[in-house]
Chains A and B, each alone.
Chain A
Amino acid sequence: MKNDFHDQMIALLPKLRVQALALTRNRAAAEDLVQDAVANALAAQNSFTPGTNFAAWMHRILRNRFISTLRKQRETTDIEDLPMSAFAVSGAHEDRMVLKELGAAVNRLPSDQREALFMVVLQGLSYEEVAAATGCAVGTAKSRVFRARRQLQAWLMGEDAPERVATTEHATRRLPLGERHAEF
């Protein structure tokens, strides 16, 4: 039903914003990404089968749009971290500093791990929903969240040396071809 499609899209926008924020680490870029993804989805509306998982379909469109834009721009430099002024944080100075460090650490995570972590923690999605939204196996979704949490713990509590990016890439090479695409 055409009305349901547009209503579902509007209802999903906040979650799309969280996903875009996880991928881009930049508020302005996140807004642009959501808008581009919405435009793509509206144009491809006829390819969506009513009654199927709209959220997964829409999340994948946004993700693919991000990958496409990233490859075009060939970005290799870090995007600015979210400034502390962007957050409505109250409390002691040390608490703000710790939160700032958490934000910086989150931004250092591989994109796929950060995306999965945000979806589970901030959006309350199940691993099955994360897997459907990101086009990976449920086990992969779980591993991404697990690795993100463990890496953040290592960085913030100084327990272990941070995992090398090569570790993620090495794991990526061993994944089936269909899942390798997701490890951007």
Chain B
Amino acid sequence: MVAGGVLSVDTAARLGSAKAMNDTDPKARGKGGRRKTPPQDVEPPEETEGVDAAFDIWLRKGLHQLYDDVAAEPVPDELLRLIEEDRNRRKS
């Protein structure tokens, strides 16, 4: 594990990093070299600003691995019954 992080050196290296490039991107910084803060009426920043593209791919894959099976589990019969009973009640 990397000190201060979770991913191993190999994993982090495989992900690579575009952050250094983002940090030097003049568009990412305002006057005085400070990173610009999005305005209060929530004009969203560039979606990739400060987010490494490789990390984003890894994150998506990881989230799908973690949650796809849970999301795909069959709906409980009790819940389906609740809906069908309401449907039948309204038909009659």
By a beta-carbon cutoff of 8 Å, the part of chain A in contact with chain B is 2-3, 6, 9-10, 13-14, 17-18, 21, 27, 31, 34-35, 38-39, 42, 45, 82, 86-89, 94, 98-99, 101-103, 105-106, 117-118, 121-122, 137, 139-140, 142-143, 145-146, 149-150, 152-153, 155-159, 174-175
**A98–B63 Cα gap in the complex (Å)?**
12
Question: How many residues on the B side are at the interface (Cβ–Cβ under 8 A)?
Answer: 52
Task: Tell me which residues across on chain B come within 8 A of A86, comparing CB atoms.
Answer: 70
Within 8 Å by CB of B55, from A9, A45, A153, lies A153
List residues of B (58-92) whose CB comes within 8 Å of A's CBs. Answer: 59-60, 62-73, 75-76, 78-80, 82-84, 86-87, 90-91
Task: Tell me which residues across on chain B come within 8 A of A9, comparing CB atoms.
Answer: 83
- CB pair B42–A140 under 8 Å, yes or no, is yes
Within 8 Å by CB of A38, from B8, B56, B83, lies B83
16 cross-chain CB contacts under 8 A? A9-B83, A10-B83, A14-B71, A17-B75, A42-B83, A89-B65, A98-B8, A103-B66, A105-B6, A106-B63, A122-B67, A142-B44, A146-B49, A149-B56, A158-B3, A158-B5
**Dominant SS among interface residues on chain B:** helix
- CB pair A152–B71 under 8 Å, yes or no, is no
Q: Is B24 an interface residue (CB 8 A)?
A: no
**Dominant SS among interface residues on chain A:** helix
Query: Which residue of chain A is the closest to B73 with respect to CB atoms?
Result: A17
Within 8 Å by CB of A31, from B2, B52, B68, B76, lies B76
Task: Tell me which residues across on chain A come within 8 A of B90, comparing CB atoms.
Answer: 2, 45
Q: Is B4 an interface residue (CB 8 A)?
A: yes
**Chain B's nearest CB lies how many Å from the CB of A79?**
15
**Chain B's nearest CB lies how many Å from the CB of A82?**
7
- CB pair A146–B65 under 8 Å, yes or no, is no
Query: Which residue of chain A is the closest to B84 with respect to CB atoms?
Result: A6
- CB pair A175–B42 under 8 Å, yes or no, is yes
Q: Is B43 an interface residue (CB 8 A)?
A: yes
Task: Tell me which residues across on chain B come within 8 A of A45, comparing CB atoms.
Answer: 86, 90
**A153–B16 Cα gap in the complex (Å)?**
12
- CB pair A82–B66 under 8 Å, yes or no, is yes
- CB pair B82–A99 under 8 Å, yes or no, is no
Within 8 Å by CB of B70, from A27, A117, A152, lies A27
- CB pair A149–B62 under 8 Å, yes or no, is no
Task: Tell me which residues across on chain B come within 8 A of A10, comparing CB atoms.
Answer: 75, 80, 83
**A146–B43 Cα gap in the complex (Å)?**
12
